Structure 1
């Protein structure tokens, strides 16, 4: 673990331990109420807002280098928070790997819009790409946390419906088990600097599940059938309560014959890739994504 990585981990643990601030971080209140300055698109890109009937999207397009492929990005936030600037920065980072266009989906969120709202919006975004002329083999699905779970659920649905499958799946700390029943929910309960030491967090609130069965594969894809899914990359931190969401899903995918890459980053926290170039571990994870997309 890098020195900066340890410092950041300790800082997260310090803030989540504060009586006033900690619960707001862990239950998503702070994330939901986040007010950000307007995002400034880099000069070499055009970021086009797309207004759908029930949700919004943004299409980031490079002005010059365009590889003819697109990444459909599904953001995290526990299904209760909308898109934020970090994911627009993610879009730029993805695009620069190969000249991708990146479609970021600002899907509807709970509790106002529980399942299947976010799932339906992700599916509608994928259909929009197909209608726009992209074939499945030119579409890549990428997401983190709740968005990572949506990536896997969407891929399963596309296969089940006989629709064109995407080229690849990228999942950062995906939330694949909304029953919170995996072994790491106990083993890392006191280790996780972000969600640990409480059951009053977005992991347990059930707002997205609503009245549905949390074991439904399109809610918790961990319990689904992995047969025939595209090549997939899982990245997760060893300290996460959601560690088993990736480990068990990767094991099931391998048993189903899928091409799977799972990397557990030692001593890392939930979606540490948000640190971008500030942490050595984050730089390593983004380099792994680059190799995965470029087949190196």
Structure 2
């Protein structure tokens, strides 16, 4: 609640002025100067087939397992810098290496540029020898929506799917329903944020309809997706968005873990150093990923137990039976 009050007091006067996208990008970059990776997490910057990317590697993490993380920012804001600290904290808790990418943003690069870059990164991981079931795709806000669109694109292309998907307040409906506008109308900052986000959706979609399934994943058929974790706060702009998507995914038979928090602002995960609920949310993501790996290991044990042993095969071979 204190974080919400502070952000409202600090940003409402600026939001009323409707600053330009370059000005907002600069503000976020300046703010990111005060965010640092957690102790014991190492950074490796490189070029992924011409796209800026980073490996975030916690000490003692399992090097075979990867979190492909797509940052948020309404498809127009955000960068590797703005999310590096939070992704580092998440990777450390999950004990996984995280790959983050500087995907292209609107309005200069509208849909499907961001999705193409996400597909490029996922396919690059496969080329490096990572197995699909050792990869988890995640993202926050627009990055969460992009992560879900990535899963849909892979499914539609009949490409191997990752082990799971994670959406932290994912943006799945770029139309931003009128019901959402009405719900947040009593809070000025949220209303201004909602109106800005609705405008960014149009910049991203450009020539594509806002209802295109890979633009607004809630419009897609959601069958055959891997297990999903969705987190949201009941007081943020995209709350209705997340609940609608979760309900539709469950109706399609997708295993969905929905975790709802109270009274937190959108992007609260980024404030993990100062907000206990943000650390709690990241811990719950780690618990989910641990559950994914545990389920895989249990399935492998069951499969192994169902396979006949070599000696059993020999005893039951036609040649051996003939000798007996």
How does the TM-score come out when normalised to structure 1? 0.89
The reply on whether 1:8 has 2:9 as its aligned counterpart is no
Work out the CA distance in 2 between the residues paired with 1:234 and 1:199.
20
Residue pairs, 1:237-248, within 5 angstroms: 237-248=233-244
Single out whichever of 21-30 and 130-139 deviates more from structure 2.
Answer: 21-30
The answer to whether the 8 A contact 1:26-1:201 is kept is no
Q: 1:213 aligns with which of 206, 209, 216?
A: 209
Partner residue in 2 for 1:94 = 90
In the alignment, is the contact (CA less than 8 A) between 2:80 and 2:101 conserved in 1?
A: no
- Partner Cα distance (1:143, 1:170) in 2: 6
Please state how far the C-alpha of 1:197 moved relative to its aligned partner: 4.4
Q: Which residue of 2 aligns with 1:145?
A: 141
User: How far apart, in 2, do the equivalents of 1:294 and 1:134 lie?
Assistant: 18
TM-score by length of 2: 0.81
Q: 3-state DSSP class of the match of 1:73? A: strand
Q: Which has the higher contact order (CA 8 A, sep 6+)?
A: 1
120, 123, 127: which one aligns with 2:123: 127
Is 1:76 equivalent to 2:69 in the alignment?
A: no
**Paired residue for 2:231?**
235
User: What is the CA–CA distance in structure 2 between the aligned matches of 1:160 and 1:199, rounded to whole Å?
Assistant: 31
3-state secondary structure, aligned to 2:84: helix
Matched residue, 2:152: 156
1:227-286 deviations in Å (ceiling 9; x for gaps): 011111111111122111100000001101111011221111112111104222212211
Q: CA deviation at 1:77?
A: 0.8
2:124 is aligned with 1:111: no
Q: Which has the higher helix share?
A: 2
Partner of 1:58: 54
Kindly report which structure 2 residues correspond to 1:245-264, keeping only aligned pairs within 5 A, or say none. Answer: 245-264=241-260
2:178 and 2:229 map into 1 onto residues whose CA distance is 20
Confirm or deny: 8 A CA contact 1:149 1:220 kept in the other structure.
yes
Write the distance in 2 (CA, Å) between the matches of 1:38 and 1:198.
23
Separation of aligned partners in 2, 1:25 and 1:71? 35
CA-atom RMSD in angstroms: 2.4
Pick closer, same or farther for the CA change 1:28–1:251 going to 2, 3 Å: farther
Q: Per-residue deviation at 1:64? A: 4.1
Q: Distance in 1 between matches of 2:8 and 2:38?
A: 33
2:198 corresponds, among 195, 203, 206, to 203
Summarize the Cα distance change of 1:271–1:27 in structure 2 as closer, same or farther, 3 Å threshold.
farther
- More displaced stretch, 245-254 vs 79-88: 79-88
SS in 2 for 1:119: helix
Larger CA Rg, structure 1 vs 2: 2
SS of equivalent residue, structure 2 residue 68: strand
1:169 aligns with 2:169: no
Partner residue in 1 for 2:284:
288
Query: Structure 2: any 5+ residue segments left out of the alignment?
Result: 295-324
Match of 1:272 in 2: 268
Q: Which stretch has the larger CA shift, 88-97 or 29-38?
A: 29-38
Is 1:32 matched with 2:25?
yes
Deviates most, 231-240 or 273-282 = 273-282
Residue 3 of structure 1: aligned partner:
none
Distance 1:220 1:289, change over 3 A: same
The whole-number CA distance in structure 2 between the counterparts of 1:98 and 1:242 is: 25
Q: Deviations over 1:102-148 (max 9, x none)?
A: 00011011111111111100110000001111111000011001100
Residues in 1 aligned to 2:125 and 2:94: alpha-carbon distance in whole angstroms: 19
Structure 1 residues 212 and 29, CA, compared in 2 at 3 Å: closer, same or farther?
A: same
